[in-house]
Amino acid sequence: MMLALVAFGPCPTFAEPAPAQPELDCSKGLEALRSWAAWLPGAERTARDGRDVVAVSAPDVWRVEITFTAPGEPGHPAIILRKFLKQVTGVWTAQSKACSYGDKAQFPALLASLKAEDTRLTNASRAEVERGKRERSPLAPTP
C-alpha cells in the first residue's frame, strides 16, 4: 500500500466547485431582494439604461444579471434575474425569471419581452460559436 502511495506521489488538488447560482425568491419582497442582490459574493453593481444591475458569475460556467426596472417599464417596480449558462457546445443560453411588485396586468408584457430577449441572446451566442467553427482551420486543435 505504501509503495502505491509513493509511486503515484501526492494527489493533485482539485479545483474548487463553482459557487451556487443565485435564485430569485419573489416572496421576499422588492426591498429584501434589493439588499440580497447587493450582498451576493462577488457582486458588481452598475447602471444600464436607467436600471440598477447587479452581476455575479462563475467565469466560463455561468453568469447572472439581476436587474431592477426603471419607472415606465412594464410591471415596474420589478426585478429580473437573467441567467446565462455555458453549454458544452460553447453556446451561452439565456433564461430569465422576474418578480413584479407593480401593475400585475403589465406583468405578461414583461415576461414576453424577457422571453424574446432570451431567445435573441441565445441565438446570437449560437451564431458566434458557429462563425468561430467556420473560421478555424480544420487542422487546428479543438479548444
**pLDDT tens per residue across span 20-52:** 899 999 999 999 999 999 999 999 999 998 899
Question: By residue range, what is the domain housing residue 44?
Answer: 28-132
Mean pLDDT on 130-135:
89
Strands 92-100 and 44-48: unpaired
Inside any domain, residue 119: yes
Residue of 44, 47, 82 lying closest to 66 (CA atoms): 82
Inside any domain, residue 23: no
Higher pLDDT, 126 or 143: 126
8 A C-beta contact, residue 54 and residue 40? yes
Q: Is the pLDDT of residue 79 over 60?
A: yes
Inside any domain, residue 10: no
pLDDT score for 5: 45
Q: Name the pTM for this structure.
A: 0.81
Inside any domain, residue 2: no
Residue 106 three-state SS = helix
User: Can you tell me the distance from the alpha carbon of 98 to that of 82, in angstroms, rounded to the nearest whole number?
Assistant: 9
Q: Is the pLDDT of residue 1 over 60?
A: no
Inside any domain, residue 9: no
User: Can you tell me the distance from the alpha carbon of 101 to that of 98, in angstroms, rounded to the nearest whole number?
Assistant: 10
Q: Of 4-8, 75-79, 85-89, 106-110, which gets the smallest average pLDDT?
A: 4-8
Name the DSSP letter for residue 133.
H
pLDDT score for 95: 97
Mean pLDDT on 49-60:
93
Number of structural domains (the chain) is 1
